[in-house]
A and B are shown apart, each in its own frame.
Chain A
């Protein structure tokens, strides 16, 4: 007899099981999550996405219903496939494939058979739904754009991807997120917060009731509507003016920093990105590397600023005391700034220009001399250029402006380090980098920066961070948009520069921009630019650029217009700016002839040159 055998065996079995249970229930912590994943379904209740209005209260973006056709494969009965295929414009094999896919996913849980069915198709389908047991229609909400312009500005929403989900635990698969534009910046405002109810489901994925009697459920927080500072009429007008041209218009209300319009062309109808054809259309827009529809020229386009930059150099020079309003330089239709290095100018031979004439005649010689005086002052080039750099920084150049739109570029303003790298041992001075005097060279600016410079000059020395939002329901707006940002230029220096800019329109390079009864201040620009064609650096027709503000004494609008390869500034940019100002300040445009010239003018031929594979002439 082995009297201890059973006691021992029972004890061993007991200990082994006890240890295993301790491990399963106390030590290991993976099973809790696994069981939640198994059996608890989070059901979300989404608040309706907030509306977007323009500054005058007209609705820009609302929501519209879209319909998904859902299927529960287990409940399917034989149906008229041909009928369904015809209504949905699907081939039979595609339908079968989709049903099989749903079947593989789950027999009892609903899957999407076809998503984003339009209202029209829904109307037909709904009548016949009784014929298709096992299918039903689920309503969901998508964006409805009430305007055909401002696609890049407003942005769009799309389904979250894995990256979004990893970054922000709020989102789960299948939800929508503001992907671009205002929709992205103000995602949280427009989205609200979804409510969650926890549901218990069974092994067939069926809902069998609330989980923990709903004690964990949370309520939704409604979304808020947004009022933009954009004037949609102006935006539409600007878009029309830029039709068949590539470029951008950006207008700011100087007193507040509110952005009145932000046009970039070529553009597309934002409604194109809603609905079933979205992905193919989006891909087409994205793939077009010539028109670059998704590239917002007014915010992202970095251009050499050209002649409008001269006014900044004038301001720096006045502030630094290297010239005053009376200082004169003689122009010999240009000048030699170094041996054999001639910079041409439009002035007649022997013209003596002071600040005022320098600006309204846009004299290259005058500004080259001014710039060299800034840089070469006391032979401290490094210190001087850094000082110049600092002044420009105070205008918001060389850095992101801080506006409320997700896209943008900082532009570029060189400093001493930059040139030390290019020309070691300090073998550079004002004449070396004289292109900067006339806004060519190394400087890069975006249209919004140009417009902001115009607004700053209009304000005589300060600006508010440009912004697109005027109000969020409940009147909240980020205080940073209400804070003055002063420049490092004293107020009195602006007077002379503004006089010069007024003369640009009254008797200078941009007389075409004059409007009866409104004193417009502006500055034209003609930007040399280059591209690479088959690896060869090729000069293209100049960009046409214009900055302006009006009226002179009580500025209500400041703007920058750039028309790519439009040749000289007064050819396209100045008239367009002038028409926009007239439209904004007077409500209607009287100069039909000018308007028609702009509306009907096309630069498509100019743009086609680059891809023509043939030699071509520029600036014709």
Chain B
């Protein structure tokens, strides 16, 4: 087959379209009719990042995948070191020590950690004797995820930590025992229930469910039923109590507020609910076709905070309407589907896991970011991939894209 045709033009096109839409909307979000220099400044920085990104993508096409496989552990270590180094050399921005400042540019090592973890996991699972069903092997995978996650939580940057932990989905897709997912879902359910209705009703619910389960299994004349049900019940109760404890004592008020707003327990459109309210107003007021480019009143008035970064999607919603939002959503879904499709065409576990990792990161970012701006998910500060203003995120995704394109290119080998 022609080498040229083996290249993933579909993914690249989707990538470029999303980046392009991102640039157009960033311009609108920062545009000030009285001072166009501001917007120009933003655009310049973003274009420089994009230029570097393109160069990286281009260069990666000449590096054999085996190189990444071989040096994955070293890249992972470098990444961990860069996260640790933040304590010594990091710059604190709005409460989180997550940035290195070099010259006029800031770099966020945790963005690159995502690539490193994806590579490391791929290498770990692609190992000669690795079987994900084994305790030793999945424990190893958990450790790879946990170390950078813990380091980012400590910055504190819980958003990125959640993204890093979402590699769990890749492990599940790779065949991690299903009980882990059930436990995760169960814990998630208990978590929400506890926050929504309080500790005591949740404990009662656990008790009643346990009783039902016991009765059901006794009726089917199964043996040894009491002990596991009791164990699960007690663990559930313990989790509920600890959630309540953590929520009240470990979480800061702003985190609590975010959850309360989302669960509808608190309505405060001037205070903590301001972001979520304004971003919904911006998107909702776009209606079908939007207010037109540079015509968004919410955007012009700067009512949505952080609009060029985490809330860039509100500009799309306001100025391009449902047409724009569904286009962007559709492009993201197509890109992710394309990547997953590529993953399962790979012959090596390493390539497959890496692609799944890339898809997983995209999915988590898109799901949480869009979920946040439309009011389905609590405010978690993570950017919208490829579109949000910010060099590190764009560069990290460019690296992902570069390696991915090379993987696609090499799939025949």
User: Residue A325 at the B interface, CB < 8 A?
Assistant: no
User: Residue B20 at the A interface, CB < 8 A?
Assistant: no
- Chain A's nearest CB lies how many Å from the CB of B173? 4
CB closest chain-A residue, reference B360: A6
**B285 contact set on A, CB distance < 8 A:** 31-32, 34-36
**B367 contact set on A, CB distance < 8 A:** 13, 17
Q: Could you tell me which residues of chain A, from 540 to 560, have a CB within 8 Å of some CB in chain B?
A: none
User: Residue A14 at the B interface, CB < 8 A?
Assistant: yes
Interchain CB contact under 8 A, B282 and A35: yes
Interchain CB contact under 8 A, B329 and A200: no
A9→B295 CA distance, assembly (Å) = 35
- Chain A's nearest CB lies how many Å from the CB of B318? 8
Identify B298's interface contact among A10, A20, A28, A35, CB under 8 A.
Answer: A35
User: Residue B363 at the A interface, CB < 8 A?
Assistant: yes
A5-B173, A209-B33 known; A25+B288 contact, CB < 8 A: yes
CB closest chain-B residue, reference A15: B333
Q: Could you tell me which residues of chain B, from 6 to 28, have a CB within 8 Å of some CB in chain A?
A: none
User: Residue A268 at the B interface, CB < 8 A?
Assistant: no
Q: Which of B52-60, B137-145, B230-238, B319-327 contacts A (4 or more CB under 8 A)?
A: B319-327
The residue in A7, A11, A13, A25 that gathers the most chain B C-beta atoms within 10 A of its C-beta is: A25
Interchain CB contact under 8 A, A25 and B281: no
**A2 contact set on B, CB distance < 8 A:** 172-175
**A16 contact set on B, CB distance < 8 A:** 371, 376
User: Residue B366 at the A interface, CB < 8 A?
Assistant: yes
User: Residue A44 at the B interface, CB < 8 A?
Assistant: no
Interchain CB contact under 8 A, B322 and A26: yes
**A13 contact set on B, CB distance < 8 A:** 363, 366-367
A21-B326, A25-B286 known; A36+B297 contact, CB < 8 A: yes
A39→B295 CA distance, assembly (Å) = 12
Interchain CB contact under 8 A, B363 and A35: no
**A9 contact set on B, CB distance < 8 A:** 169, 363
CB closest chain-A residue, reference B335: A10
**B301 contact set on A, CB distance < 8 A:** 38-39, 200-203, 208
A2→B171 CA distance, assembly (Å) = 10
- Chain B's nearest CB lies how many Å from the CB of A214? 13
Interchain CB contact under 8 A, B336 and A209: no
- Chain B's nearest CB lies how many Å from the CB of A16? 7
Interchain CB contact under 8 A, B287 and A26: yes
A208→B370 CA distance, assembly (Å) = 29
CB closest chain-B residue, reference A38: B303
User: Residue B337 at the A interface, CB < 8 A?
Assistant: yes
The residue in B175, B317, B337, B374 that gathers the most chain A C-beta atoms within 10 A of its C-beta is: B374
Q: Could you tell me which residues of chain A, from 32 to 63, have a CB within 8 Å of some CB in chain B?
A: 32, 34-36, 38-40
A10-B337, A21-B326 known; A212+B295 contact, CB < 8 A: yes
Interchain CB contact under 8 A, B374 and A5: no
**B376 contact set on A, CB distance < 8 A:** 16-17, 20
Interchain CB contact under 8 A, A17 and B33: no
**B359 contact set on A, CB distance < 8 A:** 6, 10
Interchain CB contact under 8 A, B283 and A31: yes
**A105 contact set on B, CB distance < 8 A:** none
User: Residue B284 at the A interface, CB < 8 A?
Assistant: yes
A39→B359 CA distance, assembly (Å) = 38
CB closest chain-A residue, reference B343: A6
Interchain CB contact under 8 A, B173 and A6: yes
- Chain B's nearest CB lies how many Å from the CB of A498? 73
Interchain CB contact under 8 A, A14 and B281: no
**B370 contact set on A, CB distance < 8 A:** 17
User: Residue A211 at the B interface, CB < 8 A?
Assistant: yes
**B302 contact set on A, CB distance < 8 A:** 202-203
CB closest chain-B residue, reference A32: B285
CB closest chain-A residue, reference B336: A10
CB closest chain-A residue, reference B289: A25
A200→B31 CA distance, assembly (Å) = 14
- Chain A's nearest CB lies how many Å from the CB of B333? 4
Identify B322's interface contact among A5, A22, A36, CB under 8 A.
Answer: A22
A6-B340, A20-B374 known; A32+B284 contact, CB < 8 A: yes
Interchain CB contact under 8 A, A28 and B284: yes
Q: Could you tell me which residues of chain B, from 45 to 82, have a CB within 8 Å of some CB in chain A?
A: none
**B286 contact set on A, CB distance < 8 A:** 25
User: Residue A612 at the B interface, CB < 8 A?
Assistant: no
Interchain CB contact under 8 A, B374 and A34: no
Interchain CB contact under 8 A, B363 and A3: no
User: Residue A18 at the B interface, CB < 8 A?
Assistant: yes
User: Residue A289 at the B interface, CB < 8 A?
Assistant: no
A20→B325 CA distance, assembly (Å) = 11
User: Residue B356 at the A interface, CB < 8 A?
Assistant: yes
A7-B340, A31-B285, A32-B284 known; A25+B317 contact, CB < 8 A: yes
CB closest chain-B residue, reference A37: B281
User: Residue A87 at the B interface, CB < 8 A?
Assistant: no
Q: Could you tell me which residues of chain B, from 220 to 240, have a CB within 8 Å of some CB in chain A?
A: none
Interchain CB contact under 8 A, B329 and A17: yes
A9-B363, A202-B301 known; A25+B284 contact, CB < 8 A: yes
User: Residue A24 at the B interface, CB < 8 A?
Assistant: yes
Mark A206-220 against chain B: 1 for CB-CB distance below 8 A, else 0.
001101100000000
A10-B363, A13-B366 known; A21+B300 contact, CB < 8 A: no
User: Residue B280 at the A interface, CB < 8 A?
Assistant: yes
- Chain B's nearest CB lies how many Å from the CB of A407? 45
Interchain CB contact under 8 A, A35 and B288: no
CB closest chain-B residue, reference A16: B376
- Chain B's nearest CB lies how many Å from the CB of A216? 12
User: Residue B2 at the A interface, CB < 8 A?
Assistant: no
**A25 contact set on B, CB distance < 8 A:** 283-284, 286-288, 317, 321-322, 325
A13-B367, A14-B333, A202-B302 known; A1+B173 contact, CB < 8 A: yes
Interchain CB contact under 8 A, B300 and A200: yes
Mark A185-211 against chain B: 1 for CB-CB distance below 8 A, else 0.
000000000000000111100001101
Interchain CB contact under 8 A, A208 and B300: yes
A1-B173, A200-B301 known; A21+B283 contact, CB < 8 A: yes
A285→B257 CA distance, assembly (Å) = 54
**B179 contact set on A, CB distance < 8 A:** none
User: Residue B413 at the A interface, CB < 8 A?
Assistant: no
**B280 contact set on A, CB distance < 8 A:** 24, 31
**A120 contact set on B, CB distance < 8 A:** none
Identify B281's interface contact among A31, A201, A211, CB under 8 A.
Answer: A31
**A30 contact set on B, CB distance < 8 A:** 284
User: Residue B89 at the A interface, CB < 8 A?
Assistant: no
A13→B287 CA distance, assembly (Å) = 22
**B169 contact set on A, CB distance < 8 A:** 5-6, 9
A36→B336 CA distance, assembly (Å) = 37
CB closest chain-A residue, reference B371: A17
User: Residue B293 at the A interface, CB < 8 A?
Assistant: no
A473→B374 CA distance, assembly (Å) = 57
User: Residue B94 at the A interface, CB < 8 A?
Assistant: no
A28→B283 CA distance, assembly (Å) = 11
Identify B297's interface contact among A11, A18, A38, CB under 8 A.
Answer: A38
A26→B322 CA distance, assembly (Å) = 7
**A21 contact set on B, CB distance < 8 A:** 283, 317, 322, 325-326, 329, 374
Mark B175-191 against chain A: 1 for CB-CB distance below 8 A, else 0.
10000000000000000
Interchain CB contact under 8 A, B297 and A6: no
**A14 contact set on B, CB distance < 8 A:** 329, 332-333
A6-B359, A209-B34 known; A34+B340 contact, CB < 8 A: no
A11→B332 CA distance, assembly (Å) = 11
**A11 contact set on B, CB distance < 8 A:** 333
Q: Could you tell me which residues of chain B, from 267 to 294, have a CB within 8 Å of some CB in chain A?
A: 278, 280-288
- Residue contacts A-B, CB under 8 angstroms, 23 given: A2-B175, A6-B173, A6-B336, A6-B340, A6-B343, A6-B360, A10-B333, A14-B332, A16-B371, A17-B374, A21-B322, A21-B326, A25-B317, A26-B287, A26-B288, A34-B285, A35-B284, A35-B298, A38-B281, A39-B300, A39-B301, A202-B300, A203-B302
